Amino acid sequence: MHITVIGSGYVGTTIAACFAEFGHEVTAIDIDEDIVATLNNGQAPITEPGLDDLLETHAGDRLTATTSYDAIPESDVTFLAIGTPSNDDGSIDLGALEAAAEATGEALATKSERHLVVIKSTVTPPSIPEQLEPAIRNGADDNDAVEVGMNPEFLREGSAVADFQNPDKLVFGTNSEWASNRLHEVFEPVLDAETPVVETDPQTAAMIKYANNAFLASKISLINDLGNICKEFGLDAYEVMEAIGLDDRISEQFLRSGVGWGGSCFPKDVNAIIAAAREENYDPALLEAAVEINDRQPRRMLELLAQHVSLEGTRIAVLGLSFKPQTDDIRNSRAIPIIERLQEHGAEIVAYDPVAADEMADRFPEINYASTAAAALRDAEGALVVTDWDEFRNLDTEFDEMATPVVIDGRQCIERRDGIVYEGLTW
């Protein structure tokens, strides 16, 4: 099939490369000329394991990038993967997505064959019928050949390629059997007896996406709350969580208590569903509590650090800047509120991350960045471990170079040993 993917961020780049790997002909469309040039050169504009290999293989062959929408009428399916940032009240800003949807419709205005436009971007449930579909149809002059569907993504940054190629589930939100069949054709390479396919309407498909992430985020916050309680009793939260994870109603996943969740999906989706609920005059108390607990965890790290060292004028190492390992994404990283609070206390900050230092330097150009974890730790009077990169698990004698070896571990990735003062966040 010929597929067009509009938007070349974390989602759009990943699905475009994976569709090409499936054997489809893919045209990636983005307004950023630098991103288009990067893709055509077979390089990824983001850090994601496996993505560079796919782009190097398929760029210039089954995958091309352009700033023009001209390829859309010649394609079979168009995926909208435009970013949907959060407004101040937690609701979703659909401005860029609506503009892309209307431009897509305009490109399809004279097409006579049926064409499926699939919304891949994360949107609030009421927005699909009220805003996006009309935007597409208005652009297409109400062309009846254009149909709109929803196919939410459940990709985890750091394993997005593997997740796309081996999905836990596929959700097809459509209004016709033809549209559903078209999505089955697109995803045929990963459809087998073990891949559940949920077929529903577009609104329900969008809600599934929100419910999925809201549940996982709430689970993490609940575990962090329980972990905080365990620490107050002097108990190892991880031993407790290992035991409750044996209950098949709970399972072991997302039971690692720590500094909290970040990234794009969880914060945006939870805040958006809270905002949507409030618009319907419903008080989502549990979800609000999940956000409050998540916001509390970085503060707890600094409270623990302050029990051992004064922060004013003190050299503090921050290890890990991306919101999770295997990505350079710093959106809603727990390192951001930690750095901000360290600055408020007048600390001298030296930060290190294997891939995300440049991204964070754009936000905090005034702090120091080290080229290695060892360099960040040297002469520091405290260390905060924020991201669980594998290389941090191998740190040992590097802590001996600290002026005061105090380690506050937000991810339980540093081995306790004599010679360092160690505090786990929830154990």
| Binding site feature residues for substrate | 154-157, 209, 254-258, 262, 324
Contacts of 285-292 with C-beta under 8 Å, sequence gap 24+, read 286/218, 287/214, 287/218, 289/221, 290/214, 290/217, 290/218, 290/220, 290/221, 290/222, 291/221, 291/267
CA distance 51 to 360: 22
Catalytic residues, by residue number, are 265
CA distance 117 to 348: 51
Provide the terminal-to-terminal Cα distance of the chain, rounded to the nearest Å: 52
- By CB atoms closer than 10 A (0-12, 13-18, 19+), residue 162 is middle
Backbone angles phi, psi at 249, to 5 degrees: -75, -15
Helices (H), 187-236: 202-232
The number of residues in the chain equals 427
CA distance 44 to 326: 14
CB 100 within 8 A of CB 78: no
DSSP string over 324-373: STT----TT-THHHHHHHHHHTT-EEEEE-TTTHHHHHHH-TTSEE-SSH
Binding residue ranges for NAD(+): 30, 84, 122, 157, 268, 331
Beta-ladder partners of 150 = 119, 173
Nearest in space to 254 (alpha carbons), one of 293, 295, 213, 283: 213
CB 355 within 8 A of CB 47: yes
Cβ-proximal residues to 116 (8 Å cutoff; 6+ apart), any chain? 76, 77, 78, 147, 148, 149, 179, 182, 183
Binding residue ranges: 30, 84, 122, 154-157, 209, 254-258, 262, 268, 324, 331
Token readout for 55 is 């782009």
CB 271 within 8 A of CB 214: no
Q: How far is CA 222 from CA 295, 350, 388, in A?
A: 13, 31, 20
